[in-house]
Amino acid sequence: MASQVTFIGAGNMASAIFGGMIESGYPREAITATSPGDEHLAPLRSRYGIHTQTDNRAAIANADVVVLAVKPQVMQSVCTELHEVIQARKPLIVSVAAGLPAETLEHWLGGSLAVIRCMPNTPSLVGAGAAGLYANPRVSAAQRELATTLMQAVGLAEWVDDEAQLEAVTAIAGSAPAYFFLIFEALEAAGIRLGLPADTARRLAQQTAYGAALMAQQSDQSPDQLKRNVMSPGGTTERAIQVLEEAGLRQAFLDAADACAERAREMADELGKR
């Protein structure tokens, strides 16, 4: 029988994961999601056919896995609310919150718990997520396998041994879909400026990104070589890449990733004090 999975919080990230799980065949009857207001839950019930609850404590009464998917800023109050039921049942805890250390979550929930920190991303919704996972020492091999199965149902799942490595995962996977969406915006605007209809520009930019990602995944060649394969000497791409390099795009990505990781550390400091 499938493990009962309860999502505390039913926002962008939770719905991307449970939506992807259902798409990949996970039984919807085994999934519950909570939110403070039913107006947010009603559309999820009709779209996904999952159980919903406005009462967090009731929602975890039969849970094997509790996925904490609220904003980091409300996590402590949610943990305080759940603490007694969690201690009585000791389910596997999976937190997707940026920044918050496993030890802090475990402490807020009363201690002695198996906690997995997961840094997923929203393309989980279409089965193309990329997630990093870290397990505290109380997580059993079977629980690790369960979390791997759940996250592999919605994309790539990579375990890290050192919790601090989740900062890097956040910088290049958790937050990174937004970087690519920014590039899509820019390419669409460029296409329009050069005379294409907006919808044509959008489709071309999206398909090109999709094709580039698929090709990079399927090729033995490095990204640098794949890039050079497009750059005919003296041609158009060489000129464009020169402009991007001179504009500092490469450094901008390094700086953005540093800023992202730094913010994750700041959030841990701001929220993780116990």
Ligand X SMILES: O=C(O)[C@@H]1CCC=N1
Nearer to ligand X, 32 or 170 (CB): 170
Residues 78-137 that bind ligand X (CB under 6 A): 98
* Dist. CA 247–CA 258, nearest whole Å: 19
Q: Which of 155, 174, 191, 272 binds ligand NDP (CB under 6 A)?
A: 174
Strand 31-34 relative to strand 51-53: parallel, antiparallel, unpaired?
parallel
Sequence-distant (6+) residues with CB within 8 A of 53 are 32, 33, 34, 41, 59
Nearer to ligand NDP, 96 or 153 (CB): 96
Number of residues that bind ligand X (CB under 6 A): 4
Q: How far is the CB of 200 from ligand NDP (least distance, A)?
A: 28
| b/e per residue 210-220 (b: at least 16 CB within 10 A) | eeeeeeeeeee
Which residues make beta-bridge pairs with 94? Answer: 67, 116
String of contacts with ligand NDP for each residue 114-153, x by CB under 6 A: -----xxxx-------------------------------
Q: How far is the CB of 97 from ligand X (least distance, A)?
A: 8
* Dist. CA 251–CA 121, nearest whole Å: 23
32 binds ligand X (CB under 6 A): no
* Dist. CA 194–CA 201, nearest whole Å: 10
Q: Which of 66, 85, 94, 97 binds ligand NDP (CB under 6 A)?
A: 97
The binder of 104, among ligand NDP, ligand X, none, by C-beta within 5 to 8 A per type, is none
| HSE value, Cβ hemisphere, 13 Å, CA-based, for 164 | 3
- Residues lying near ligand NDP in the complex (CB under 6 A) are found at 8-14, 34-37, 40, 56, 69-72, 74, 78, 96-98, 119-122, 174
